[in-house]
Amino acid sequence: MALSLTDPVADSPFSDETLLFDSTPATEDALAVIFAFPNTYSVGITSLGYQVVWATLARRADVTVSRLFMDHQEPLPARPDVVGFSLSWELDYGNVLTHLENLHVPIHAADREETHPLVFGGGPVLTANPEPFAAFFDVILLGDGETLLDDFFDQLNALKTASRSETLRHLAQMPGVYVPALYRPIYDDPTGPMVAMEPIDDGIPAQVQKQTYRGNVLSTSTVVTPLAAWENIFMVEVVRSCPEMCRFCLASYLTLPFRTASLEGSLIPAIERGLAVTDRLGLLGASVTQHPEFDTLLDYLNQPQFDHIRLSIASVRTNTVNPKLAETLTRHGTRSVTIAVESGSERVRQIVNKKLATEEIEAAAINAKAGGLSALKLYGMAGIPGEDMEDLEQTATMMQRLKKAAPGLRLTLGCSTFVPKAHTPFQWYGINREAEKRLKFLQKQLGKIGADFRPESYNWSVIQALISRGDRRLTPLLEQVRHYGDSLGSYKRAFKDMKGQLPPLDFYVHDTWPTDQPLPWDHLQGPIPKATLVKHLAEAQSLMAVPQPVA
């Protein structure tokens, strides 16, 4: 039965879309697929990953795909064969369950029968640590869609006549395809750490390796629409991963190696396609300005025929904010640039492997103003492992130094709480219990000098840490939280209800774990071996003992 969330015709956003690919007419026996995003259309259609997966499926003759968002949908098949989800934010998990309920699909894979669709998931949240959500998915795809997606659907088509259990066992042999039901966690104590994660029998691989696409043609928008969160933007992925390898950074460690799009073979042809339908261009990547031919790309965009184009660039490396970049952004309608500095303390930046001197931050501010930009946005953190109050004072001092160096430039410091992420050297650290006080300290200090301070919610950072370091014992807790209304208080209430059935909140959120403790995601292999992460952690810890420099 089709959903009735919204009328698929009336008030539909799909008629406003400009498609940048040709779909392929589906054959009569094509797999009926629903590809869902657990958030609104505006948010989902702005996800480049979601766009690319949808277009990949729409190009296949053996698949017919319908899109589903929380507020809009295309006409849905009465009996879908496959339901897929792209999960970009941990706290969207509740919307995954809402979608499944509305589709009359049991939320637990163990309760699904032969007549139910196969449910798969992908995206950064599930690639990092899918374990808290493992019970909801039949299959989880770990890694890059360019490598995984077509092979996965080739196998699904080849297995049409197989039983559900046969299909899952076959899929589990594919690199990057994780079937959670075929693995079982071992615990000595329900309130202690996990002891091991084992395949249910010898026919299942002991480990699943994340798949990495290594080509030089990266993702670009497949649709442009005025209803996206970034109106009418055409997005181009300039680089993937980041060579800096900050020790807390999932975007760097999990997506290695650093890859760049070919300028002549990929970037420029893609930009020309996009600018034929819109005048807004977004250059995406964790470290866009570190593309080896970025300067040449700026020269291309500064040609007179592109004077009307509005250009947006993701966070850039601080020491690449030169007058040319600032002038280019100003020329193309951008008034600010964003840099990640993490801390005003050089000691803390060394701890996290942020290869950045305070003089370079000051030069970025001066260059931004000289190039015509009116604002500089900085990203920082509180509660970084090894940080003390003197380091926070140096962050306030740095902001004051920037105000003096570039008077009139509007300065904003967005500040989050350090949250441990799987597959990074800081995955063993918990959230600093003093982090909330440190955010308030920074707010007070920056208020004195007139700098704009925008802290992220400490309490929601706690929940993010809970999920990012969680195991399968969290599944019933997350369902209880949803039942209680998904508020911050719901988590405390659910932990109280389940006392004795899982570790306390502190274990997941605040405790520092020993490096020999098995991790919930040890059976899921990222690009960097665990032993190497331990070495990187030791390098950071050796710097934590270094005394503060005398001011």
The per-residue pLDDT for range 517-538, each reduced to its tens digit, is: 999 999 999 999 999 999 999 9
**pLDDT surpassing 90 at residue 305:** yes
**CA atoms of 301 and 311, how far apart (whole Å):** 9
**CA atoms of 131 and 101, how far apart (whole Å):** 21
The per-residue pLDDT for range 360-370, each reduced to its tens digit, is: 999 999 999 99
Q: Where are the alpha helices (DSSP H) in 108-144?
A: 124-128
Q: Which residue type occupies 547?
A: P
**pLDDT surpassing 70 at residue 11:** no
The pLDDT, as a whole number, for residue 145 is 93
The pLDDT, as a whole number, for residue 337 is 95
Identify the burial level of 329 via C-beta atoms within 10 angstroms of its C-beta, where 0-12 means exposed, 13-18 middle and 19 or more buried.
Answer: buried
The pLDDT, as a whole number, for residue 315 is 78
**pLDDT surpassing 50 at residue 6:** no
Average pLDDT over residues 69-84: 97
Average pLDDT, the chain: 95
The per-residue pLDDT for range 190-206, each reduced to its tens digit, is: 999 999 999 999 999 99
**CA atoms of 92 and 90, how far apart (whole Å):** 5
Looking at 385-462, which runs of residues are DSSP E strands?
A: 410-417, 452-455
**pLDDT surpassing 90 at residue 106:** yes
Is the CB of residue 410 less than 8 Å from the CB of residue 452? Answer: yes
**pLDDT surpassing 80 at residue 547:** no
Q: Which residue type occupies 467?
A: I
Neighbouring C-alpha atoms within 13 Å toward the C-beta of 64: 16
CA of 453: how far to CAs of 139, 381, 461, 473, 527, in Å?
Answer: 42, 12, 17, 37, 35
The pLDDT, as a whole number, for residue 551 is 40
Closest CA to 426 of 255, 256, 250: 250
Average pLDDT over residues 256-270: 96
Residue 5's pLDDT band (boundaries 50, 70, 90)? very low
The per-residue pLDDT for range 457-491, each reduced to its tens digit, is: 999 999 999 999 999 999 999 999 999 988 889 99
**CA atoms of 32 and 348, how far apart (whole Å):** 51
